[in-house]
Amino acid sequence: MAEGAMANDAFVVFDRVQKSYDGVTLVVKDLNLSLPKGEFLTMLGPSGSGKTTCLMMLAGFETATHGEIRLNGRNINTVPPHKRGIGMVFQNYALFPHMTVAENLAFPLEVRKLDKSVRDEKVKRALDMVQMGAFAGRRPSQLSGGQQQRIALARALVFEPELVLMDEPLGALDKQLREHMQFEITHLAHNLGITTVYVTHDQTEALTMSDRVAVFNDGRIQQLAPPSELYEAPVNSFVAQFIGENNRLMGTVTEITGETCVVRLDSGDIIDAKPVNVSKVGDRTQVSIRPERVETNKARLRPGVHTLKAEVTEFIYMGDIFRTRLKVAGHDDFVIKTRNAPDQIRHQPGQMIEIGWLPEDCRALDAP
């Protein structure tokens, strides 16, 4: 999508937003972001990266120190939270403990002065939507974590907001339930055509659920891209390191020819890479290569590419894949992953092998 087209039908816009709590340090530094209607955007980042602050500013619980936040073309900086009409799912669900499930869901409808018959109808529909119809008369304390989570979701959706914010809603659930809920939330959001801003520090969640992911670090968006691009084409060493597993090697660029470059590692070995954040010969770089893109079968490599000698230090059987730890170019934390296929070689510790990769899979990024 072109920048211009996006700016036109942008539904949520952060325009040069800054936030400081103490007036000295900026928690959010110059945030620019725009979401089209119906998009599922995830803000991903380590704790303290500013992602939750951004969500709270959008919800209205924090005010931006500088800049403008627009919703549907309207500046909402001075609109109080209860007049923004934004649905929100909280980390701890925040269900009202003194109300039943049905009363919790009816709350936003009562506030909007809907008739009792309309209210009941909407509450019933919202409960059915999350398969909790049988629990209308229960109190939150009588529900399990997963059930409370569904009610919180239904409550955020029952008044049909166009925008829903979710603050690490699945953090407290166990793994299996979490995966199930990830699927359910994305499904609901897409079916209802709701614009969603989702905050998490779990990268798997971000990759599986989102249309686009904004990776936050140090108060800035490091990269804003669809999940596949984020994983396969990280634009800097932070993103490469934060998303998925990653092998890092430090070196200096010695040659750049169009789409490929040659890097001399600190150990003296020579490798091929794709220049991303390096511009000239002599630049320091951290090259990044995904464990599953490392090739151990020389026959499958492009002729003429550089290879490295490696010593197998550990072989871990993980069922669907094998994880092999190697000592490469002086680093002993180099990991490769191979599929458990019938013809796959199971390397033994101590074995010397030769590894290589396609130059486009190895990205020469900035040296942190």
Partner 1 sequence: MSLPVYASTGQRIWHYAFRVICGLIFFFLIAPIVIIIPLSFNAQDFFTFSPEMLRLDPAGYSLKHYQDFFTNPDWQLPLWNSLAIAPVATLIAVSLGTLAAIGLSQSHVPFKSAIMAILISPMIVPLIISAAGMYFFYSRVGLQGTYWGVVLAHAVLGIPFVIITVTATLVGFDRSLTRAAASLGAGPVRTFFMVQMPLIMPGVVAGALFAFITSFDEVVVVLFLGAPGDKTLPWQMFTGLREQISPTILAAATVLVAISIALLITLEVLRRRSERLRGMSPT
Contacts with partner 1 by CB under 8 A lie at 59-61, 80-88, 90-98, 107-108, 111-112, 139-142, 145, 148, 155-156, 159, 165, 172
Question: Would you tell me the crossing angle of helices 116-129 and 145-157 to the nearest 10 degrees?
Answer: 130
Closest separation in Å from C-beta 94 to partner 1: 4
CB closer to partner 1, 138 vs 327: 138
Question: Which residues, at least 6 apart from 155, have a Cβ–Cβ distance to it below 8 Å?
Answer: 95, 104, 105, 107, 108, 126
- Identify the sign of the CA torsion 189, 216, 68, 81: positive
Strands (E), 64-131: 66-71, 74-75, 87-89
CB closer to partner 1, 27 vs 235: 27
Closest separation in Å from C-beta 92 to partner 1: 5
CB closer to partner 1, 11 vs 90: 90
Question: Which residues, at least 6 apart from 168, have a Cβ–Cβ distance to it below 8 Å?
Answer: 91, 199, 200, 201
Nearest of 75, 83, 33, 38 to residue 55 by alpha carbon: 33
d(CA 186, CA 200): 14
CB closer to partner 1, 80 vs 350: 80
Closest separation in Å from C-beta 126 to partner 1: 13
Closest separation in Å from C-beta 210 to partner 1: 22
CB closer to partner 1, 108 vs 359: 108
Question: Which residues, at least 6 apart from 368, have a Cβ–Cβ distance to it below 8 Å?
Answer: 237, 238, 286
Closest separation in Å from C-beta 272 to partner 1: 52
